[in-house]
Amino acid sequence: MGKKVKKEAESPPKDVFDPLLIESKTPATVVLMLSSPENEVLAKACDALYKFASKGDENKVTLLGLGALEHLYKLLSHEDPLVRRNAIMVFGIMASNNDVRKLLRELDVTNSLISQLAPEEDVVIHEFATLCLAYMAVEYTTKVKIFEQGGLEPLIRLLGSPDPDVKKNSLECICLLVQDFQNRAAVRELNVIPPLLGLLESEYPVIQSLALQTLEVISKDRETRILLGENKGLDCLLNILENNELSDLHIETLAVLGNCLEDVHTLQQIQLTGGLKKILSFLEVSTVPDIQKNAAKAITKAAYDSEIRKILHWEEVEKFLLSLLETNNDEVKVAASQAISAMCENIDSKCVLGLQGIPQLVRLLSSDNEEVKEAVVTALTNLTTASPRNASVVAEAEGIAPLMNTLNAQRDRAISNAIAVLTNLSLQESSRVSIRRHGIMSALVGPLRSTNSQVQSKAAFAVAAFGCDADARTELRNVGGLGPLIELLHSKNEEVRRNACWAVMVCGSDELTAVELCRLGALDILEEINLSTKRKNKFSEAALEKLLDNNLSQKYSRMGYLSSSNIITNGFYDCGQIKPGGKFLSLEELSKQELTERRAIIFINAKPQETEKMSPTFHLSLVNLSKCPVGKRMYLNLNFRDYSILDKCIIFFFFYVRKGKGKKEEEKPKEVIQVTPTVQEEINLKSSHWLPPPDFILMDYINDASKTILPLTNTREQVVALALFVADKMGGSVEREQLHNFCWELDMSEIEFELKSNIVPIGKIKRGTFYHRALLFKVIADRIGIGCSLVRGKYNRAWNEVKLVEHSPKGLLLPPQEYIVDLMFEPGCLLKQGSAKADQYKRI
């Protein structure tokens, strides 16, 4: 027998590669394996990358840097289901990183992901594809692509998936998508309501919560609310509220029901089934701050509809809101105050909330929380608007002081609404007086300087409301509030500018304030506003007229016209027509100017010197002044201490001593009677306040006219008599041809030189031309009750216009006719307005 030989194993074919087991310890190697043509290698590589990415965000960034996503994107359409599944798993887990999502958007993976949602695909593919879409749906651009590429339909279909993770991911994606309006309309068309209501019965709280969040968003549309009612969704929601085991879902459920309250039809359905009472009963016993807050917010949104307000009032929602004011949570107080503000639009609710809620709201004004303070004062604004009764309740609840304190709040809206409440209270005399005593005008200076247009507007409006009282105007003037008010005239905000004009108009009601407003430049600004067709308003025109009417000197200088209602009083002066852009100087400023050759300032002061009550201890000393100019006057310099009124007061008396009426005044030596207190004090006369001297001659003119002209019963006779009187005092009639020889300028120069001043009392003028006579006529006519206007012409011309009623033989009352009064050529002649003689009188 031969020896047995061991048989050798057969060697593999030469064209077959021997299997190689590789153990990779770096992700870079595995990423390289994604380019392998072998399905098994690809599947294992994707599985390894999934596990690596699941360990942390840093690993996802590492894979992103290695370019793994580009290789994985190609595998989404791989023919092998296992490779495709594992690749999608990596996408789903990595999409939580923001940088990864950015690259996914650049790769435009949404269409590939949506294609993986087909019914025949594996559940795992559905899970991670929807997970990736949910992560990416955060960005608006991805929402648009999902909508355009038809992703809503498969996502809604997957809400019925047996896998809870697929449901959760699909629902989360839909919840993000419906934030966009067009997606809300699309899901409604795809009948998303039934599956969402079905998910409310899920055993997973996260799915129930997401379903409620989605319902909250889509129920903002009226059409969806109708579908919700048709699918008995309201009953499902009410059942959740009644189930204490689902208390973690009550907040989201109330949010959905809150949207339903905004629709009258839906609310009526809830009310008819007793659902509204159930909701309010639930809210009244709930002590969860978030539930209370969201309920109040829902009422706020719903109360914007008048019909809904009526329904809520019938269900006595006011009681619930007032109870919320007693909670210890500031957010709840804010929400309740906002709901009260909204419910105030209903008159019946306003009465209930006013009587019962105002005392509570007033107490909350002292809160340290600025948001609470803002919400409370807003509610008080709505409660007191057009409601004198509620305004009285605020005053009775001692709300004025805390409201005044709120003017120093940090929030602009709180300040503006506090001003609005105080303005509402100002309609009642007692409240207005009380607010003024609390220093409202001083407190408004800060808001007037605010940079917030709403605060500025309310502050200016308040100045207009409180400025009707003289004491308030004085306070505003003394605290420097007129300057900030005038600055608001420059505002580009129409409401601010209008209210500022209104306030200026009201404040210009007294002469002192009007003069100060003019000094601060209000007139120039108002004139500029009225030149603009876009910026001017009725109040700007009225304000300009009011300021000028209470500052007649400036009105006559600017406008060259005084109407019959513009009564010239003491202190008026005519400094001539002011040039455009020129500054109008006060009488005191003019008095400090050196004597010049310019036109004299004609001054009116028929007020006797007032004697002050002085301290009984003083002595007199007579001092002759050799340097006094020759004339018929004496200077009485009183320097005394009045301990009951002022510490120091210096008064200059400037008067004329006359021997007899109608006689030429005799010259007397000038004397100064100096009255000083027993405690001697040095007085700096240059720093003492300048007081205008009285015009005793003008006083005599007025007295004579009152005695001789006033008794005349016919107005025409009074006008004629006054014209003759004025002409007689101003140098008599002048022939028209000899007008150039009527040398009134020389007499004026002599008077100015005698007085060493450009200011000339009108009574000193014995030879006056047109504008002197017209002014004197107007002054006396105003004092004795004859209505006439004063018009300035050119070249020293001026005239008076009067309106007289003609006598009718048949006893008919004819309309008055306007006449020009001749004071120069034929004194007393009445020239009919528009006639040739009248035009000749007014012009050279």
Residue 463 maps to which CATH number?
A: 1.25.10.10
- Which pLDDT band, with edges at 50, 70 and 90, does 10 fall under? low
Q: Which one has a higher pLDDT value, 98 or 810?
A: 98
Mean pLDDT of 436-443: 95
Helix axes 81-94, 39-54, angle to 10 degrees: 20
pLDDT of residue 625: 35
pLDDT for the residue 261: 85
In a domain, 60, yes or no: no
Q: In what order do the strands lie in the sheet with 789-792?
A: 561-562, 789-792, 798-804, 817-821, 830-832
Tell me the pLDDT band of 614, cut-offs 50, 70 and 90.
very low
Say if residue 749 is in the same domain as residue 772.
yes
337 three-state secondary structure: helix
Q: Which two tokens stand for residue 133?
A: 């879409």
pLDDT of residue 385: 94
- pLDDT recorded at residue 392: 95
The answer to whether position 119 is within a domain reads no
Token pair, residue 83, equals 């490779």
Helix (H) or strand (E) holding 376: helix 370-384
Q: pTM, whole model, 2 decimals? A: 0.71
Inter-axis angle of helices 289-302 and 317-324, nearest 10? 130
Instruction: Tally the domains of the chain.
Output: 3
Phi/psi at 218 (nearest 5 deg)? -75, -20
User: Residue 16 — very low, low, confident or very high, per pLDDT cuts 50/70/90?
Assistant: low
List, for residues 46-56, the tens digit of each pLDDT value: 999 999 999 99
What tokens were used for 361? 């709201």
Residue 331 forms part of a structural domain: no
Q: What is the mean pLDDT of residues 444-448?
A: 96
Q: Among 548, 555, 564, which residue's Cα sits nearest to residue 509?
A: 548
**Structure tokens belonging to residue 571:** 């202190």
All residues at 6 or more sequence positions from 808 whose CB lies less than 8 Å from its CB, including other chains: 814
Q: DSSP for 450-505, please give it.
A: -S-HHHHHHHHHHHHHHTTSHHHHHHHHHTT-HHHHHHGGG-S-HHHHHHHHHHHH
Radius of gyration of the chain (CA): 46
Q: Are 168 and 128 spatial neighbours (Cβ–Cβ below 8 Å)?
A: no
Enclosing H/E stretch for 726:
helix 715-729
Residue 236 DSSP one-character state: H
- Asked if residue 448 belongs to a domain, the reply is yes
Burial classification of residue 756, based on how many CB atoms lie within 10 Å of its CB (0-12 exposed, 13-18 middle, 19 or more buried):
exposed
The per-residue pLDDT for 609 is 61
Residue among 678, 681, 658, 677 at smallest CA distance from 668: 658
- Among 14-23, 199-208, 806-815, the range scoring the smallest mean pLDDT is 14-23
How far is CA 712 from each of CA 208, 554, 811, 814, rounded to the nearest angstrom? 98, 33, 22, 22
Q: What's the confidence (pLDDT) of residue 656?
A: 35
550, 568, 594 — which closes off a domain?
Answer: 550
How much of the chain is helix, strand and coil, in % rounded to 5? 60, 10, 35
Cα→Cα distances 779→461, 510, 762, Å: 37, 20, 10
Determine the average pLDDT of the residues in 245-263: 88
First-to-last alpha carbon distance for the chain, in angstroms, is 168
pLDDT tens sequence across 450-490: 999 999 999 999 999 999 999 999 999 999 999 999 999 99
* DSSP structural state of residue 206: H
Asked whether residue 668 falls in the same domain as residue 791, the answer is no
Predicted local distance difference test score (pLDDT) of residue 136: 93
Query: How is residue 387 annotated by DSSP?
Result: -
| Tokens read off for 710 | 């006033």
- Confidence class for position 17, pLDDT limits 50, 70, 90: low
pLDDT at residue 651 in the model? 33
pLDDT digits (tens, 9 = 90+) for 368-406: 999 999 999 999 999 999 999 999 999 999 999 999 999
- Least confident range from 8-17, 163-172, 817-826: namely 8-17
The verdict on residue 132 lying in a domain is no
Q: Of 501, 534, 550, which marks where a domain is finished? A: 550
Residues 764, 720, single domain; the answer is yes
Q: What is the DSSP string of 551-619?
A: -HHHHHHHHSEE-TT----TT-EE--PPPTTPPPPPHHHHHTSPP-SSPPEEE---PPPPPPP--S-EE
Share of the chain above pLDDT 70, in %: 87
Residue 663 confidence class, pLDDT cut points 50, 70, 90: very low
Give the whole-angstrom CA distance, residue 10 versus residue 32: 34
Q: How far apart are alpha carbons 211 and 203 in whole angstroms?
A: 13
Give residue for tokens 């050799």. 626
pLDDT for 675: 37
For residues 189-216, average pLDDT: 93
Q: Are 422 and 405 in contact (CB under 8 A)?
A: no
Do 725 and 830 have their domain in common? yes
Q: What is the mean pLDDT of residues 403-427?
A: 95
The strand pair at 798-804 and 789-792 is best described as: antiparallel
**Whether the Cβ atoms of residue 675 and residue 618 lie closer than 8 Å to each other:** yes
Q: In this predicted structure, what is the pLDDT of residue 674?
A: 39
Q: How far apart are CA 597 and CA 17, in angstroms?
A: 124
Given a cut of 60, whether residue 680 has pLDDT beyond it is no
- In this prediction, residue 610 carries a pLDDT of 55
The residue segments making up the domain with residue 454 are 441-550
Whole-number pLDDT of residue 4: 47
Query: What SS3 class is residue 638?
Result: strand
Residue 470 to residue 507: CA distance in whole angstroms: 9
**Same-domain check for residues 639 and 753:** no
If asked whether residues 511 and 647 sit together in one domain, one would say no
Average pLDDT of 154-167?
A: 94
- What distance in Å separates the CA atoms of residue 677 and residue 679, rounded to the nearest whole number? 5
Cα–Cα distance measured from residue 466 to residue 427, given in angstroms and rounded to the nearest whole number: 9
Closest CA to 361 of 319, 397, 414: 397
Query: Which carries the bigger pLDDT value, residue 358 or residue 632?
Result: 358
- 7 inside domain: no
Please give the average per-residue pLDDT across 286-301, as a whole number: 89
**What stretches of 657-725 adopt beta strand conformation (E)?**
671-677
Please, are residues 269 and 226 in contact by the beta-carbon 8 Å criterion? no
What pLDDT, in 10s, does the model give residues 556-613?
A: 998 899 999 999 999 899 998 888 777 888 888 888 888 877 788 999 998 876 544 4
Can you read off the two tokens belonging to residue 257? 């029901």
Are 703 and 679 in a shared domain? no
Q: Which of 669, 687, 705 is the last residue of a domain?
A: 687
Mean pLDDT value of segment 779-789: 95
Q: If you average pLDDT over every residue of the chain, what do you get?
A: 85
Whether residue 811 has pLDDT greater than 70: no
Task: Determine the Cα angle at 594 with ends 593 and 599, to 5°.
Answer: 80
Give the distance between the most distant pair of CA atoms in the chain: 187
Q: Give residue 396's pLDDT.
A: 94
CB-CB contact of 318 with 353 (8 Å): yes
- Please name the residues in contact with 173: beta carbons below 8 A apart, sequence gap of 6 or more: 130, 133, 134, 137, 146, 155
The conformation of residue 247, written as its DSSP 8-state character, comes to: G
When pLDDT is averaged across residues 608-620 and rounded to a whole number, the result is: 44
Same-domain status, 700 and 837: yes
List Cα–Cα distances, 10 to 7, 193, 299, in angstroms.
9, 69, 88
Q: Distance between CA 72 and CA 93 in Å, rounded?
A: 13
Instruction: Say whether pLDDT at 790 is over 90.
Output: yes
For 299-335, what is each residue's pLDDT tens digit? 998 898 899 999 999 989 999 999 999 999 999 999 9
Distance CA 775, CA 781 (A): 10
pLDDT of residue 282: 86
Q: Which residues pair with residue 802 across a beta bridge?
A: 819
Q: What are phi and psi of 571, to 5 degrees?
A: 100, -10
Compute the average pLDDT of residues 511-531.
Answer: 90
Q: Given pLDDT bands bounded at 50, 70 and 90, which one contains residue 434?
A: very high
* 90-99, 113-122, 681-690, 782-791, range with the lowest pLDDT: 681-690
User: Do 629 and 715 reside in the same domain of the chain?
Assistant: no
DSSP secondary structure of 96-162: TSHHHHHHHHHHT-HHHHHHTT-TTS-HHHHHHHHHHHHHHTTSHHHHHHHHHTT-HHHHHHGGG-S
Comparison of pLDDT for 612 and 506, the residue scoring more: 506
Residues 109-117, mean pLDDT to the nearest whole number: 92
Residue 74 has pLDDT above 80, yes or no: yes
Domain membership flag for residue 623: yes
Residues 626 and 723 reside in one and the same domain: no
Residue 828, domain member (yes or no): yes
Structure tokens belonging to residue 606: 């028929």
Buried b (16+ CB within 10 A) or exposed e, 39-74: eebbbbbbbbbbebbeeeeebbebbbebebbebbbe
What is the C-alpha to C-alpha distance for residues 825 and 738, in angstroms, rounded to an integer? Answer: 10
Read off the pLDDT of each residue in 91-103 and give the average, rounded to a whole number.
Answer: 92
What residues are paired with 634 via a beta bridge?
Answer: 655
Q: What are phi and psi of 819, to 5 degrees?
A: -130, 150
With cut-offs at 50, 70 and 90, classify the pLDDT of residue 9.
low
Beta bridge partners of 623: 672
Residue with tokens 């306040």: 689
Does 756 share its domain with 804?
yes
Quick one: 745 and 653 in the same domain? Answer: no
Strands 830-832 and 633-642: unpaired
In the predicted model, what is the mean pLDDT of residues 118-132? 93
Mean pLDDT of 66-79: 89
Structure tokens at 436: 């003024």
pLDDT > 50? residue 645? no
Length of the chain measured in residues: 844
Q: What is the mean pLDDT of residues 91-95?
A: 92
